Amino acid sequence: MNNKAAFQYALQTLKPLMGEDEANAIVKYLFFEQYDLSKTVLLTHEMAPFVQVDHLNETLERLTNNEPLQYILGYAYFNGLKINVNTSVLIPRPETEELIALAKTRIVNTNQTIADICTGSGCIAIAMRQWFPNNPILATDISESALATAKSSAALNFNQNTIQFHQHDLLTQTWPYETPAIVICNPPYINRTEGNAMAPHVMLHEPHIALFVDHPDPLLFYKSLIQTFLPGAFPNIFFEMNPNYVEALKHYCELHQLNCEIHLDMQGKERFAIISK
């Protein structure tokens, strides 16, 4: 099998599952990232032997079982950074890049401590470390395996680990660390009833603890975080959220005399909230 035949074989295998456009995008990404065969190389060396047929077959089998390519590769790119991923963490989303771009605009000096709560893969904390090399940054999560993954990505991107990682349960533990000036949080925000509408690759492989709120109140994590820092020093809190619960969050903030700015994502959905006194 030559390079051209291997590419077409992969494309034809995936098209029935995900459609031509998505299959084409995934196969291009796979061949470039896994086999170092860019579009240019494929064109100029299309008749060269493809020597990784067994690996390609294994990868295609995993893809047809709805396993995300990022988990197969073991990493994803986020804000130009390579982030390690596995089934203990969510795959970083483009919307979260928008969230941290929003937070960037409110950081005014190097004395401000930045906290990434529910850090997961650590992508938020690591991106903030890249932009703000002198600010203290801490990241917390309930999951030991998620923190281990986040630490490995921090070490991958920086000469030394300059982010404080801590295991912490936002829902049951008091906050034992210094009060940050900036909090960025992408908590679980999907109701279990919404799971039926989600893509199979998400439901089958991504960690449900990071996706779903197993509680009647879908704002559980948002309220817990706000209450953690009230009534004392209150940081600017940047949330990624479920558009279905924006009005409920605004009402909650009104009751507690807090400002609640809502910002749209690139799809025009109410996706981000900035909470402040």
Q: Which of 159, 166, 160 is nearest to 113 (CA)?
A: 166
Q: How confident is the model at residue 212 (pLDDT cuts 50, 70, 90)?
A: low
83 in a structural domain: no
| Tokens standing for residue 120 | 């997961």
| pTM of the complete model | 0.91
Residue 153 sits in the same domain as residue 93: yes
**Average pLDDT of the chain, as a whole number:** 92
Q: How confident is the model at residue 207 (pLDDT cuts 50, 70, 90)?
A: confident
222 in a structural domain: yes
pLDDT above 90 for 203: no
76 in a structural domain: no
Residue 53 sits in the same domain as residue 161: no
For residue 40, with 0-12 CB atoms within 10 Å meaning exposed, 13-18 middle and 19 or more buried, which class applies? Answer: exposed
Give dist(CA 262, CA 250) in Å, integer.
Answer: 9
* CA separation, residue 61 to residues 57, 58, 67, 74 (Å): 6, 5, 9, 16
Residues 6 or more apart whose Cβ sits within 8 Å of residue 36: none
Best mean pLDDT range from 124-128, 159-163, 201-205:
124-128
Unique residue bearing structure tokens 């493809």: 50
Q: What angle do CA 223, 229, 234 make, to 5 degrees?
A: 115
- How many independent structural domains does the chain possess? 2
CATH code of the domain covering residue 95:
3.40.50.150
Residue 172 sits in the same domain as residue 265: yes
Residue type at 134?
N
Residue 131 sits in the same domain as residue 229: yes
Across 49-88, where does the E strand assignment appear? Answer: 75-78, 81-84
74 in a structural domain: no
9-36 pLDDT, tens per residue? 999 999 998 899 999 999 999 999 999 9
pLDDT above 70 for 194: no
Q: Which domain holds residue 256?
A: 88-276
84-111 pLDDT, tens per residue? 999 999 999 999 999 999 999 999 898 9
DSSP string, 155-215: HHHSSS--SEEEE--TTTS---SPPPSEEEE----EEGGGGGGS-HHHHHHS-HHHHEE-S
101-146 pLDDT, tens per residue? 999 999 989 899 999 999 999 999 999 999 999 999 999 999 999 9
Phi, psi (degrees; rounded to nearest 5) at 118? 65, 55
List Cβ<8 Å contacts ≥24 apart for 102-107.
Answer: 102/238, 102/263, 102/272, 102/274, 103/128, 103/182, 103/184, 103/238, 104/131, 106/182, 106/236, 106/238, 106/274, 107/132, 107/135, 107/182
* CA separation, residue 225 to residues 130, 169, 173, 179, 183 (Å): 25, 11, 11, 12, 9
Tell me what pLDDT residue 257 has.
96
* CA separation, residue 177 to residues 4, 28, 141, 173 (Å): 56, 45, 13, 11
Residue 136 sits in the same domain as residue 261: yes
